[in-house]
Structure 1
């Protein structure tokens, strides 16, 4: 089967990429890490203006009524630019909760708020227990055992990614029923898309640096060993990409049966996270110690990649889901 994205989707992703390329993201990320979320929320407002925040919001609620395929396309670009904040929770998970709440919930027009750029943070005890950047979110929920509860942020602590805080929210009242597996699927595939973007960005940084840095009078990019390392990263990312699309398609084609998408989503999450982590390790080797300093931009991408390795399920958790799905099918 020949799979290719619709040109409208690629053009949409390119428009987001162009917007973020002009936004001086390293400065925005550093401001967020320093406690000033205003530049970051301003960027998010501009991203929402492109329609990215409304992708999974139904058309009748003011959204685009798109599928996980379009959302993954947008999230890969957001990952490539390391956009701070609860991005996956706002784009992928919260619209599903908003649909369960309905249009006349006690929280008002949640779907319309998300489409307009409101941020949301979500925790799933046992799988993804930490709610990211709850201080910047308008909505905070806890999902467990196929139910959705309000959340109250407890004391926040800084993640390994300095531009990311996490909290274990206290569970409040029940507000809706919704499949936890469906929300985990959306969170996991969204995180995988972010990691794909991060991995590609670090590979680009590494290649560019290898073309400029000299040792012993020779560009380091001319050394065969380093070429092999960068090629391994490129191969890992490209081999993981079809799994990413397969996971998104599985969600899109089984809207009422989240269990049918579990295997493909978790396989994508494992493959992409491994590839992104390889990209991060290789980037640090190529750049040397300067790549991990606060002064160098690469560190912003390295630490975000590390933080997202356990977001919406660890690698062991997702490997277990794949195994369980295969055994059930057998």
Structure 2
């Protein structure tokens, strides 16, 4: 299968990168981690002006009615810039759920939704900023009140329990979970690419024994390995987007994308930390924003073992 971005998708990606590059997303992520949400919410409003919230909402409800590949373009950019908040839940998952007459508000950016899908997604992300907290369990979609917050590996992610009784809104199939897995895979792809760029830039300017460390063959090999893994993961993620859109081999392809993107992003994180040396361990360094995000997203929406088992089952256990 050959997949190439359309001119419209390339323009959409460029618009997102231009917006996010001009915004201080790193400051917004740090503020979000400290419980100060306004900088991040302002960033969300700016993103909604570009149509992020309306992306997967049907046109009859005020949305764009875009396809899964468009969502991958968006989430790759969001992961690259470490934008905080329940983006996967609100932008990718919620439009596929029976939320009634709330879809126009979701498309307009007036409503933030977060979702838990036990057992793979047992807690709701950032429920304290969401206007609607949902739980999908046994094929039923329920509106629930969030419980106690718990810490994540990523300080910019707060997870809330959703164990209480809920109000049933309707039924749904497995589609929303697969769309969530796809969006997280795209975030990992974007975050991995950013980590590679940070490591490459640092290697060009950090001198050791009178030479940039990037001139040493060992460092070049480390960075080349990351670039290779990211390039191998990318077609799997976009291939999964096609599978989601066409509803063929969805479980196999979304799980394969999550495994590949998670492996590549994890390698990018380890390599970036190694290249940066001791400075990479400091909380003040921006590298940590992506390191922690990758660590959290690799385990989110099903870890590697879960998704490998799904791929094996989809292939008939061979």
| TM-score, scaled relative to structure 1 | 0.93
Alignment of 1:14 with 2:14, yes or no, is yes
Alignment of 1:110 with 2:94, yes or no, is no
**1:129 corresponds to which residue?**
122
Contact 2:3–2:235 at 8 Å: present in 1 too? Answer: no
Alignment of 1:140 with 2:133, yes or no, is yes
Contact 1:128–1:310 at 8 Å: present in 2 too? Answer: no
Alignment of 1:60 with 2:87, yes or no, is no
Alignment of 1:157 with 2:146, yes or no, is no
Contact 2:214–2:220 at 8 Å: present in 1 too? Answer: yes
Question: How many Å separate the matches in 2 of 1:68 and 1:110?
Answer: 21
Secondary structure of 1:53's aligned partner: coil
Question: How many Å separate the matches in 1 of 2:149 and 2:81?
Answer: 25
Q: CA deviation at 1:2?
A: 3.5
Question: How many Å separate the matches in 2 of 1:289 and 1:306?
Answer: 19
**2:77 corresponds to which residue?**
77
Q: Which runs of 5+ in 2 are unaligned?
A: none
Aligned equivalent of 1:264, options 238, 248, 253: 253
Alignment of 1:315 with 2:304, yes or no, is yes
Q: CA deviation at 1:134?
A: 0.7
**1:297 corresponds to which residue?**
286
Question: How many Å separate the matches in 1 of 2:282 and 2:127?
Answer: 27
Secondary structure of 1:64's aligned partner: coil
Question: How many Å separate the matches in 2 of 1:282 and 1:65?
Answer: 38
Question: How many Å separate the matches in 2 of 1:239 and 1:177?
Answer: 36
Question: How many Å separate the matches in 2 of 1:126 and 1:2?
Answer: 35
Question: How many Å separate the matches in 2 of 1:46 and 1:292?
Answer: 32
Q: Which runs of 5+ in 1 are unaligned?
A: none
Deviations 1:88-136, CA, capped at 9 Å, x for gaps: 1111101101xx34xxx3xxx3111111122211111111112111111
Aligned equivalent of 2:245, options 246, 249, 252: 252
Aligned residues between the structures: 316
Q: CA deviation at 1:158?
A: 2.2
Once the two structures are superposed, the pairs formed by residues 156-305 of structure 1 within 5 Å of their partners are 156-170=149-163, 171-179=165-173, 181-254=174-247, 260-305=249-294
| TM-score, scaled relative to structure 2 | 0.97
Q: CA deviation at 1:289?
A: 2.2
Contact 2:67–2:245 at 8 Å: present in 1 too? Answer: yes
Contact 2:182–2:241 at 8 Å: present in 1 too? Answer: yes
Q: CA deviation at 1:250?
A: 0.3
Structure 1 stretch displaced more, 149-158 or 15-24: 149-158
Question: How many Å separate the matches in 1 of 2:144 and 2:83?
Answer: 24
Secondary structure of 1:54's aligned partner: coil
Secondary structure of 1:327's aligned partner: coil
Question: How many Å separate the matches in 2 of 1:14 and 1:216?
Answer: 39
Contact 1:192–1:268 at 8 Å: present in 2 too? Answer: yes
Question: How many Å separate the matches in 1 of 2:7 and 2:281?
Answer: 37
**1:3 corresponds to which residue?**
3
Greater than 3 Å deviation, 4+ residue runs:
none
Secondary structure of 1:211's aligned partner: helix
